[in-house]
Amino acid sequence: MNFLRNLLAAILGTLIAFGMLFFMFLIFISLANAEEGVTVKKNSVLELQFKDPINDYTGSNDADPFAGLFAEAVGLDDILHAIAVAKNDDKIEGISLRSQFVMAGWSQTQAIREALRDFKESGKFIYAYSDLYMQKDYFLASVADSVFLNPVGGMDFRGLSAEVLFYKDLQEKTGVKMEVIRHGKYKSAVEPYLENEMSEANRTQIKELLESLWGSVVEQIGSDRNLYIDDLNVIADTLGGRSPLYAKQSGLIDDLLYMDQYEAILKKASGRSEDQKIQYIELSDYMKEAGKRSLYKGSDRIAVIYAQGEILYGEGGPNYIGQGLINKALIKAREDKKVKAVVLRVNSPGGSALTSDIIWREIELTKKEKPVVVSMGDVAASGGYYIAVGADKIFAEPTTITGSIGVFGTIPNISELAGNIGINAEQVATNSNSTEYSLFEPMTPQFRGVVTESIESIYQTFLNRVSVGRNISMARADSLAQGRVWSGIDAMELGLIDELGGLNDAIASAADLADITSYSIRRYPRYKSNFEMLMEDLSGAKTRLQEDMIKSELGEDAFGLYKDIKRTTQQRGIQASMPFRLTIK
């Protein structure tokens, strides 16, 4: 026994020692990085390469010594701030845009594009270069003064498409089914479980959505490249940019250059001789310096609250919306006398109807005391629209996906599979409804009736929120509902939003409503630091590691399918969620 006790003590001591060494190593690295600092030299060229996923907001804490060690995403707010600071920075001569495989949504990309357009007003140059332009990359690059492509590179310009997978046959073959109850003609989040092919209603809304988004994209490209929209569509239809030579001849590209030739142009533009090196500064470094400079100054404040991700019941975090963090932020902003207005930035496909209504109520309370303006990101649909609809004013980008006013419920059922493999479930209960539902038994008509009643009630509540928030009749709200999704442009025409614009437009509108001219910005919520998450959520770190391994084995598309199935099986309660998971390419 003594031997085993001593052995266990030795193992435990070794693990503790290794743990202490590991944390000391992290602290040493973080301190070393902190001491390096960032120096912006004269005649610098700001290089924009978006290598990491882009979130609207990361809630990064500059005081966190581990902030740079576990970065998984970069904040759109930080990117836009850096570009705005660079506009008036005498040390920045111009921007080199080398985006490739931008990991951002269309509206996020458009926000960066608008920031670059504003940067050009300073008279400084923006040049774009890439070995390969995917459509979103080119959409961003087309704002540049000149766009260059590798002579043996590639370009994708073919229009937008989307794919939806259907699982009805899979369910019948496996005996694992999703019991579905829904309200909404277009509420097709559950359609893949009910049908083998796309309904005409769903096909119509996806096609019209894609056409609206694509129309906005080609309009902006045409404006900056001096090309007609009809000509751009001909190029897309005929794959007129499929080779570098065709891309140049069609006017999509200014010239075909190798990297050294491109850098010769940058040298000349930034005042460097041929034998001098270009003084690049990477965006990640410049953001650290730009973060020290405030674009908004004043004793009054506008609170910007970020609500991003799927809506789930709970505290919330960087990647999902819970009533906990969002409502705490709303209450804090409401009770802060220096805060004169609130801007809620929504980027969400929806989720829990209960959570959405809890957040809606807190917005109503806030609105009674201070103006509340919503800025919609890539998606503000279903539950995302639910929490936005009560605001005093709503802004959306032209490429925002919004609406989807409808609700549904999905409940897994494996009764057929259980019967096929010889499992029989027997229940014992005290009352007729004690056993509400069993995974191993077919759904009873009585239970389906109860759930249907709940869904109809929530749908009517949702319609009422829209009717009151947008000052329209219930009948009008119902005609715009049924789960139908709209682009920002269509939503504007239908009265679901007030104006087209980005986050800065929403902030300016909030200032007008609050009747203030000078103000500072306070961002919410505050997420746990990387160090806190490392200490408190080791199991979460393990889960992220496992998902990274699965992703590397399955590939991007198959991993997306895995995540969709996992998300569906974990849903609880009635859902106000976007009617499908779209990856628009």
- In whole angstroms, give the CA distance from residue 158 to residue 179: 38
Q: How far is CA 98 from CA 247, 248, 455, in A?
A: 17, 18, 48
Parallel, antiparallel or unpaired: strands 310-311 and 320-321: parallel
pTM of the model: 0.85
- In whole angstroms, give the CA distance from residue 497 to residue 399: 13
Phi, psi at residue 345, to the nearest 5°? Answer: -95, 115
Architecture of the domain spanning 44-158+239-290 = Alpha-Beta Complex (3.90)
pLDDT in tens, the chain (585 residues): 555 556 555 566 565 655 555 555 555 555 555 445 678 888 999 999 998 999 999 886 554 555 555 556 899 999 999 999 999 999 999 999 998 889 999 999 999 999 999 999 999 999 999 999 999 999 999 999 999 999 999 999 999 998 888 888 988 889 888 888 877 665 566 788 888 888 888 898 899 999 999 999 999 999 999 999 999 999 999 999 999 999 999 999 999 999 999 999 999 999 898 889 999 999 999 999 998 898 998 999 999 999 999 999 999 998 899 999 999 999 999 999 999 999 999 999 999 999 999 999 999 999 999 999 999 999 999 999 999 999 999 999 999 999 989 888 888 888 888 888 898 888 888 887 777 788 888 888 888 888 888 888 999 999 999 999 999 999 999 999 888 899 999 999 999 999 999 999 999 999 999 999 999 999 999 887 655 555 555 444 445 545 555 555 555 555 555 555 555 555 555 666 655 555 666
**Of the residues 124, 177, 187, 370, which is catalytic?**
187
Helices vs. strands in the chain: H and E counts, helices first: 22, 22
- In whole angstroms, give the CA distance from residue 142 to residue 153: 17
At a CB cut-off of 8 Å and minimum separation 6, what does 227 contact? 221, 251, 252
**Of the residues 60, 382, 415, 487, which is catalytic?**
382
Domain positions in the chain = 44-158+239-290, 301-528
| Count of residues making up the chain | 585
Q: Which of 477, 457, 454, 455 is nearest to 467 (CA)?
A: 477
At a CB cut-off of 8 Å and minimum separation 6, what does 345 contact? 56, 57, 304, 305, 306, 307, 308, 374, 375, 377, 503, 506
At a CB cut-off of 8 Å and minimum separation 6, what does 213 contact? 106, 160, 398, 399, 401, 487, 584
Q: Which of 410, 409, 447, 416 is nearest to 171 (CA)?
A: 416
What token pair was written down for 351? 């989720």
Question: In this structure, which topology does domain 301-528 adopt according to CATH?
Answer: 2-enoyl-CoA Hydratase; Chain A, domain 1 (3.90.226)
Dihedral of the alpha carbons of 573, 366, 54, 355, in degrees to the nearest 10: 0
Q: 44-158+239-290 and 301-528: same fold?
A: yes
Is residue 187 annotated as a catalytic residue, yes or no? yes
